Amino acid sequence: MQFVVNSSHHTRGYYLIDDIYPKWPIFVKSFAFPSDAKKQRFKVMQEAARKDVERAFGVLQLRWNIVKGSARLWKNEHMSSIMFACIILHNMIIEDEGADTIDWKVEAGGEGSSSGPHTEFNTGAPSDFAAYMAQSSNLKDSRLHARLCDDLVEHIWARFGPIKS
């Protein structure tokens, strides 16, 4: 995934995470103790977005097994298609049956539609270890992590400004 933020080009997507993960350019944490107003604004926005994503993803995981497994080696277009399909199906079910008709306790216990067999499919993973290592060469670069975080802080500040009391 490629994107531009704060006039900087980035070549990998990222996950919004909490403090237990390493400083890699695929992970974006909030600041434990923000030192200025920009970082405080970023902390509020990052934590709110992370909680929203966790809730939404949890709902999808309860319903479909394919969303539960690891997707790191999937091709982006496959992952995107699968997620869009799950989201669309979920929204269709809610629209048709209503939110109150879903028994989350049964689905959380594995007896709902998520208990079906796993389906195997091509993940688009590199065919050998050398190709995998070449593809992941900058995965742990802490300088890329710092640049991404700085770019996101500046972007959020430019877009939303200070926190209003």
The model's pLDDT over 69-83, given as tens digits with 9 standing for 90+, comes to 777 777 878 888 888
Report phi then psi at 15, rounded to 5: -110, 140
Confidence of residue 105 (pLDDT cuts 50, 70, 90): very low
Residue 94 in tokens:
């809610």
Query: What confidence score (pLDDT) does residue 102 get?
Result: 54
Q: Could you tell me the sign of the dihedral formed by the alpha carbons of 156, 160, 161, 165, in that order?
A: negative
Q: Match 């990222």 to its residue by tokens.
A: 14
Q: Are 140 and 22 in contact (CB under 8 A)?
A: yes
Query: What confidence score (pLDDT) does residue 42 get?
Result: 95
**CA 80 – CA 90 distance, rounded (Å):** 15
**CA 145 – CA 148 distance, rounded (Å):** 5
**CA 113 – CA 129 distance, rounded (Å):** 36
Name the percent of the chain lying above pLDDT 70: 78
Task: Assign 9 to helix, strand or coil.
Answer: strand
Q: Are 144 and 11 in contact (CB under 8 A)?
A: no
Residue 128 in tokens:
């050998």
Distances (CA, A) of 78 to 26, 65, 116, 128, 135: 19, 15, 20, 20, 18
Query: What confidence score (pLDDT) does residue 152 get?
Result: 96
| Span 82-108, average pLDDT | 71
Query: What confidence score (pLDDT) does residue 100 get?
Result: 60
Helix 142-160 / helix 37-63 crossing angle, nearest 10 deg: 100
